[in-house]
Amino acid sequence: MSDEEEIILSELADDELVEQMMDDLYDGMKDEIEEGVNILLERGWTPYDILTKALVAGMTIVGHDFRDGILFVPEVLLAANAMKAGMAILKPLLVETGAPRMGKMVIGTVKGDIHDIGKNLVAMMMEGAGFEVVDLGINNAVEAYLEALESEQPDILGMSALLTTTMPYMKVVIDTLIAQGKRDDYIVLVGGAPLNEEFGRAIGADAYCRDAAVAVETAKEFVARKHNQMAAG
Ligand code: B12
């Protein structure tokens, strides 16, 4: 903006508003993000479109500039907080779909890693699709996963990692499950920006999911397969 003119979000056309929200997310402007999300909802946008086309798209730009040394941790934290504020508005809407109960998932970010936006998004979308989700938060050691698996008895274990230094920890968890003879009790889904399908396969996960929508589809597929097997057996 070349001048000091105040932008009235509600007066912007949809595409301009989304552009502006990406700028506001970049600048960590929580109140403006909340306002933008509410305006798009009033205009009939689906929560999912707002999430992907405004918030996740905006965070992708933040990610690029963080990588390139244009943004630093404090700024990215503000952007993350603004994103979370937007997600908080959308969460109840994504969750109240009345979808039939699909199964249960325990999800958490692995030890050493405090990134949780992607994990939270997966948890939200899974809940929206009818899964019960137990969220273990960030920085989970193998013991935390095992305890939760024992007490919650989920169908699915989900692990998230955003750092190349923490992603190998997923293998530690899976290897521990194997050693205890429990690996086949759960569908293991993994995700996070630095992972790929090959990595998922190499560590013995059932699937790598590149985003929350794929996570939901994959989870549904595996749960249906598991139930069919149980019915056949
Ligand atoms: C926001 C952010 C932060 C925030 C985190 C805030 C928070 N509460 O999460 C803060 C500022 C705290 C942070 C800190 C750090 N960060 Co950081 N961060 C990011 C950033 C910009 C965005 C991540 C994000 O939220 N993306 C948006 C979400 C929606 O996408 P997502 O996480 O990928 O999740 C989607 C999929 O991956 C998938 N998914 C994710 N998890 C799961 C789990 C399951 C089970 C499934 C099925 C799917 C799935 O579905 C999600 C939704 O669609 C990334 C850049 C990037 N390209 O990822 C860097 C990035 C991950 N960070 C990076 C680094 C280096 C750090 C720090 C080490 C920086 C430092 N010097 O201190 C610290 C590490 C702290 C720690 N110990 O964890 C690097 C990692 C580089 C590497 N190769 O390892 C990145 C890639 C930036 C970069 N290019 O340099 N970071």
Please write the tens of the pLDDT for every residue from 38-70.
999 999 999 999 999 999 999 999 989 999 999
Mutate to test the pocket of ligand 1, among 66, 116, 199 (most ligand atoms within 8 A of CB): 66
pLDDT at 223 over 80: yes
| 3-state SS, one letter per residue, for 61-110 | HHHHHHHCCCCCHHHHHHHHHHHHHHHHHHHHHHHCCCCCCCEEEEEEEE
Q: Give 137-167 pLDDT, tens digit per residue.
A: 999 999 999 999 999 999 999 999 999 999 9
Task: Determine the Cα–Cα distance for residues 38 and 125; give it in Å rounded to an integer.
Answer: 19
pLDDT at 1 over 70: no
Give residue limits of the domains in the chain: 10-100, 101-233
Read out DSSP for 196-213? Answer: -HHHHHHHT-SEE-SSHH
Q: Give 93-119 pLDDT, tens digit per residue.
A: 887 766 677 899 999 999 999 999 999
Q: Give 72-97 pLDDT, tens digit per residue.
A: 999 999 999 999 999 999 989 887 76
How close are the terminal C-alpha atoms of the chain, in Å? 65
Which pair of structure tokens corresponds to residue 68?
């390139």
pLDDT at 71 over 90: yes
Q: Between residues 65 and 1, which one has the greater pLDDT?
A: 65
- Which residue matches tokens 């699915």? 156
* Pick among 1.10.1240.10, 3.40.718.10, 1.10.490.10, 1.10.287.3240: CATH of 10-100: 1.10.1240.10
User: What's the CATH superfamily of 101-233?
Assistant: Cobalamin-binding domain (3.40.50.280)
Residue 166 Cα to ligand 1 midpoint, Å, equals: 11
Residue 15 Cα to ligand 1 midpoint, Å, equals: 27
Would the CB of 192 count as within 6 Å of ligand 1?
A: yes
Task: Determine the Cα–Cα distance for residues 162 and 188; give it in Å rounded to an integer.
Answer: 17
Task: Determine the Cα–Cα distance for residues 11 and 22; give it in Å rounded to an integer.
Answer: 16
3-state secondary structure of 195: coil
Q: CA 77, 91, 153 angle in degrees (round to 5)?
A: 100
One fold for 10-100 and 101-233: no
DSSP alpha helix (H) spans, the chain: 14-26, 30-42, 47-49, 57-67, 73-95, 117-128, 142-152, 169-179, 197-203, 212-232
C-alpha dist (Å) from residue 133 to 17, 59, 177, 199? 33, 24, 20, 24
Indicate which residue's Cα is closest to atom 83 of ligand 1: 164
Would the CB of 117 count as within 6 Å of ligand 1?
A: yes
Residue 3 pLDDT level (bands cut at 50, 70, 90) = low
